Each structure stands twice: as C-alpha cells, then as structure tokens.
Chains A and B, each alone.
Chain A
Amino acid sequence: MSTSARLGVLKTYKLFVNGAFPRTESGRTLAVVDTKGKLLAHVCHGSRKDLRNAVVAARSAAPGWAKRSAYNRTQILYRMAEMLEGKAEEFTRVLASTVPGGNRRAAKEVAAAIDRLVAFAGWADKFGQVLGNNNQVAAPFYNFTVAEALGVVCIVAPSEEPLLGLVSLLAPVICAGNTAVLLGSEAHPLATAIFGEVCATADVPAGVVNLLTGKRPELLAVMAGHRDVDGISAAGCSKAERTILELGAAENLKRVTVEKINGPAWYHETKMHAPYRIQPFVEMKTIWHPSGV
C-alpha cells in the first residue's frame, strides 16, 4: 500500500450470477473490515430475490452443464485451479488481512483450495466409475447403475476457511454436473466475492456457479424451501440452522447434506478429496435392458 496522500479506490464487490456481476437488487451492502477494524471494501448484501434469480440462472444452465462431457468438466475445473493459482497472491492478501492467522495461514488455505480444485478436476470423469456399476441380475438383462447430476444445488459455505470451505463444497457439486447457488462465508465474504472473477475467467458456463454474499438468517429458509432446488450442501452450521435446512427441504424432499468439518479437517486430503463427497449430489439411476436377438 502506498503511503502517499492519494486516496485509495474502495471497491464494492458485486454478486456473481449467471456469468455476470450484478449488484444486489436490494441495494444493500455490507462493510468488510480487516482484522484491525479498518474498512476494506463493501460487498453486496444479497436478498431473497437475488437468491431467486440465481436459482433461475442455475436451473437454466443445469441441463447443458450435465450434458457436457466429463472430460470437458475436468478441464474447466482445472482451469479454475489455474485461475485461482494466478490470483493466489490477491486471495492470500485478502484472507491474511481479514482472517486471524496471518499470511502463513492464508497462503496455506489458498494452496489447499487450488489443490482441491485440481483433485475434483481429476474426479469428473472417474467418479461415475467408482459410484456406479453393473448389476448381475437373475434374468436376461443388461442392468447398470449410473450416477447422474441432481440438478440445482444450494451451498451454504462455512464461515471459517472462507476460500477453502467454499471450494471444498463447490467442487464436488459442479464436478458431478450440478449447477450451484452458493452463499459464501458470512463472516469473511471477500473470498466469495473475488471467487466470481475466477469463475468468470475459467470458461465456467454462465449460471453454473452463482455466488452470493449475505446473511444466513435471511436466506437459509428461503433456500431450503425453494421448490426448484434439488439439493443442499452445507457446512459449519449450528443445530438450529441444520434444522431450518432439513425442515424446509421436506417441502420437496430435496437432498440435504450438512458436513461437520472443523479446523484442520479442511486440510485432510484423504477425506476431503474422496469421491464419496460427490455421492450426495448425484442420483443413482438403474437402467434395465433386455439382452436377446
């Protein structure tokens, strides 16, 4: 930072919806301060209407994204890793200034987030082989079970590890061919806000990833009850928040996964890179076809 008298440009980060960066329709913003309490920037205070618009975008992008070849999804996820690597310094700076733990912690988080994207990039064309199989039925049928994308998944990212948490929840969801509407860390929203720039430059089709910043109490119940949402992935939730999600989800029986991951567990690669973290966001479809000429 310059110490000259020049006045810095204070940025207001926007939402990332349908491949564009709109402001919240509500006109509200939230101030982001650094660990010393100094104003760093503003982010949008996303509303239920922003959420609704994001779901519309995610829904319309869903069939196209699911139909892309897994190989293509691999490359796009890898491209996200490349773009994140390119922005590593910026993310490290932002995280170091807003999250306790300083530069070293921040750098570690960014590196882990990049590696996570690389790991799931590699899974895109393999998880189906691990989760699916053919079935030896006692009849002249070729019978096989395949994993298919759920559709639209809403993600509630944890407050801690604002970048790694986001990436950890997002990667398995989009890797499987779902589109995502993600509510970023409420406490540290900057990583979410900047992550839109990663998506926008990584060939992620419009609507596949939609990023909101805002407050859980306003959005969780709306997300959970939205009938055009097929699944929910959340982490870092209180019991009350989990109840809100599961209660709302009963409306259309959306699939809810609330992971309990804390502190060092976010860095546990064996657990966090497992294909079984994709499993909750696919449907297993079993197909029977007679075999006979």
Chain B
Amino acid sequence: MSPSPKIESKPELDFGNAWDYATAPEGTQVVIQEKYGLFINGEFCPPRSKQFMDTVNPASEVVLAKIAIANHADVDLAVAAAKAAFPKWKRLKASERAKYLFRIARRIQERGRELAVLETLDGGKPIKESRDVDIPEAAKHFFYHAGWADKLDYAFPGLTGTPLGVCAQIIPWNFPLLMAAWKIAPALACGNTVVLKPAETTSLTALRLAEIFQEVGLPPGVVNIITGPGNSGAALAAHKDVQKLAFTGSTRVGKELARNLAGSGKRLTLELGGKSPNIIFEDASIDQAVDGVVQGIYFNQGHVCCAGSRLFVQEGIMEEVLARLAVRIASLRVGDPMDKNTDLGAINSLGQLATIKRYLEVGTAEGAHMHQSTAKLPKRGYWCAPTWFTEVQPSHTIAREEIFGPVLSVMSFRTPEEAITRANNTPYGLAAGIWTDKGSKIFEIASRLQAGVVWCNSYNRFDAASPFGGYKQSGFGREGGRQGLWSYLELKA
C-alpha cells in the first residue's frame, strides 16, 4: 500500500458522521414537586413572603418547579433557628458531629444518580459532569470534613478553636450542590450552624440535600436553606445574628458585600471571579496541553470561576496549538445535557446567554477573530457553541473581563518573562495553568504567578483536601484543606 500523496493545502481531519453515537439519555427518573418551601429548623415550610419564583430547565425552557422567595421575615426565622441550634451543636461531642457528616457523605453517594439528574435538569450541565464530578466531589467534601470534626486541635498547633456561631453562606449557580458542600461541610465540622442561600436559578439540589439532612437526623436548625433572588441573600448577609459570611460569586457583588459588612465585626470570606491564564511553552506535551486547555475553558460551559479563559501560547508553536485546538474542539458534542455523550450542555440562564453574546460581539468589534465549533445547537433552550478568539490583544475587553461562558481568548508570548507579566496583568488571581516539560521552569513560574491555585501540566483539578481560593480581587480565604478551616473557627492561643 503506498502512502497518500503529499498535498499542497493544509491537511485537515474530518470529524463527520461516518459513525455517530446514538442518543444515550440518562434514564433515571426523579420526582420534582410542583412547589418548594424553605428549609428552616429541620422542616420545609411555606415562605412568610407567600411568594414563589420559577426554576427553569435551561436546556428546554420548561418550568421545573416553583421555589420560595425568602423575605426579611423568612431570613429572621432561618437565622433564629440556626442561632437556637448553635449552643447544643457546639457542645455536641466532636466525634458525634463527625458521624453526622459521614452519614451525609454516604447518603449523597447513595442518592448520587438522583442528585446528578436533578443538577443537570436544573442547571443545564452535562449529566456526565454532574455524575462524575459535581456529586462525587460533594460527597468527598463531607467525607473529608467529617474527619476534621474531632481533630481540630491538631489543625493549628498551639491554638484552640471554637466555632463562630451562625454562618451565612451564599453560593452561585455553576456548581450548585458542590458549592453547598464546600460551604456547609467545613462550617458544620467546626461546630457552626448554617443558613445557606443557593442561587436563584439552581435551588433544587440544595433542597434535596435538605431531605438528606432530615434522613440522617441532623438536629433541626443546624442547617437552614432559604431560597430566593439576590435580595434574599443581601438580607441574610446583613442579619445582626450572623457571625460569618461566606460568599461565592461575582467580584462586583463580593465588593458590595465587603462594603456592607465594613465595621460590622462579621467574618468574611469571598471566592470571586477570575480571568485565569493558561500558559503553554514550546517544550510542553502539546496534545495534553490542548486537552487541558479544552478542559480549562469548556468544562461546565465555561461557567467556572477559575476557567482558563486566557490562553497564552509561545509564538513558535502557535500554529501547531491552534490546529490541534480546532481538531479537539471539533470532537466536542454540544446539546441535550441529559445525553450521556454530551460534552457541553446548556448555558445556565437566558440572562447569562445574553451576557456571553454581548462579549462575542464586543470581541469581534474590537478586532479579534472569532471561531466557533460547527456543532449543531438545539432549537429550544439556551446554547452557545464552543468559541475561541484569535488575534486577541491584551487590551481587548475579552482578554480582561470575566465572560463566564465557553469563550477562550488566545494570545501569544515570546519569553517566560513576558508570559508572567501578561498572566499577572489582571486584577484577578484565582488560578493559572502552566504547560512545560521542564521542572525548574515549572517551579519558577508557579511561584511567580499571582494565583491561589496553580495547575502544572493540568487544569481544573479539584479535591476536598486541596485548598482553593484567590489572590487579589478573586477574593480571600480558602476552601478545602486544612487552610479552609481557618475561616470557620475562632482561634485562641
């Protein structure tokens, strides 16, 4: 057999339908109630506000359920329940507290499929991700922190920690159950009680978690879950009996909360936005680097605070990287999140889709070249094809602002020094990626990047044992690991 003749034009790979995958819908059925109340003092109760909002499946635009809107009176009730539960929970033998967390962890695993389906229905993320990442990681957070509950004396040698009291926790819509676990697990392990407010568009899994709290017999009031829009969260944050606020969300809201809390004496931790750099050096393992770039920006439709949204490629390999990137993106499957073969699901909400589209327009208007995968998008629902921009300049809006969608800005650099300078030239500092095969280069660059998490030859890896949190305007405080306990304890010599 003779090899194919050399060809003049650029060789292209064809990712067509010579053999296509049949749809593989996740079959698990979940029961969704028509209406959900608030979870206060161990019971679901109708909101004092008497108001409800719709929660919508972003992949079909179908209303899934009505979710209670908490007003000031509801916030008062929830905080009062958490306050009342605190003394007993605090006094409970630590090893017993640990067992509650272990129970929760186990039940999350056992109800994993149901939670994954619910997460995907409510949030639009691919079932593959909710099944393999969100839910297992949520369970892991409870397992990890369960073990800390009776070992806190060893966490900070020389110090004795006592719980703070009522913790208000406000979480975003990108990883609804996982963020609830990130917040609740360390708070409970340290002996605090909690009022959690999930994001407006994704409350269902948190409310399911409340059922698990009931199942495992968690004492009433230890965790309370109130739902509603931003106002409900603001009321919670401002409540006089709240000792600590943990917020994950946008830098804009984070700053607003920081201002509101100034002088209040309340503890605050913030996990905010990012515009994280992913840097590929010419000596990197290129194919794995490209996989990492794709994982970095298209995981969860780019609705990830630490998404590697700025790609810096050393000039000499730019062409090679772009060619591989195009090939890799061509194999991504966009569509029904409930299909087990879907790689990119729906954009979480109509509002977020509008934001992303605006950035696509701005990117093009400012002179960058837009490329999109040719994946066919469903008619109903909120969708954005995987997008990447070339010819991006560091001054472009799409190179500076967080888009929170599947949009990558590709830029070049010539020397390591230039890569570091460009990577750090942002008010954010959440995460960064470095791709090189040279160990000493890894360590030097990792130490000079201003980011709370640095992924070397990898991206978007998470673990309950691994502290996560930002430098600069990506917020302060850490979640996960030993350092994550710091924010939930009053520590004294």
Contacts and interface: CB of A to CB of B under 8 A. Distances in A.
Contacts of A131: 483
B457 A246 contact: no
Contacts of B461: 137, 139, 141, 288
A91 B251 CA distance: 46
B64 interface: no
A284 B452 contact: yes
Given A145-B481, A284-B478, A250 B262 contact: yes
Interface in B147-169: 156-159
A252 B461 CA distance: 27
Contacts of A138: 140, 463, 465
B429 to A, nearest CB: 8
A6 interface: no
Interface stretch (A94-102, A188-196, A199-207, A271-279): A271-279
B416 to A, nearest CB: 15
B27 interface: no
A131 B486 CA distance: 11
Contacts of A239: 263
B142 interface: no
Interface string A247-273: 101111101000000000000101100
Contacts of B239: none
B263 A289 contact: no
A246 B473 CA distance: 15
B263 A246 contact: yes
Contacts of B272: 253
B426 to A, nearest CB: 12
Interface string A114-140: 000000000000000011010111110
Interface residues of A, number: 39
A34 interface: no
A287 B444 CA distance: 12
Contacts of A271: 493
B466 A135 contact: yes
Contact of A253 (B446, B475, B491): B475
Contacts of B254: 253
A25 interface: no
A230 B208 CA distance: 40
A66 to B, nearest CB: 9
A286 B468 contact: yes
B471 interface: yes
A180 B136 CA distance: 44
B447 A148 contact: yes
B456 A288 contact: yes
Interface in B459-480: 461, 463, 465-469, 471-473, 475-476, 478
A285 interface: yes
Given A247-B259, A247-B263, A137 B472 contact: no
A283 interface: yes
Contact of B466 (A240, A246, A288, A289): A288
A145 B467 contact: yes
A87 interface: no
B262 A279 contact: no
A2 to B, nearest CB: 48
Contact of B491 (A276, A284, A290): A276
Interface in B79-104: none
A253 B156 CA distance: 26
B261 interface: yes
A252 B455 contact: no
A23 B251 CA distance: 40
B486 A286 contact: no
A99 B453 CA distance: 47
A66 B412 CA distance: 28
A105 interface: no
B442 interface: yes
Interface string A134-156: 01111101010100100000000
Contact of A137 (B465, B471, B493): B465
B264 to A, nearest CB: 8
Given A137-B463, A274-B158, A252 B259 contact: no
A137 B458 contact: no
Given A243-B262, A246-B263, A253-B270, A286 B467 contact: yes
Interface in A48-96: none
B454 interface: yes
Contact of B458 (A243, A246, A288): A288
A250 B447 contact: no
Interface string B270-303: 1010000000000000000000000000000000
A225 to B, nearest CB: 12
A242 interface: yes
Given A137-B465, A253-B476, A255-B476, 19 more contacts: A133-B481, A139-B461, A141-B461, A242-B263, A247-B263, A249-B262, A250-B255, A276-B156, A284-B469, A285-B446, A285-B454, A286-B452, A286-B468, A287-B456, A288-B454, A288-B458, A288-B461, A289-B456, A290-B457
Interface of A: 130-131, 133, 135-139, 141, 143, 145, 148, 230, 239-240, 242-243, 246-247, 249-253, 255, 268, 270-271, 274, 276, 279, 283-290
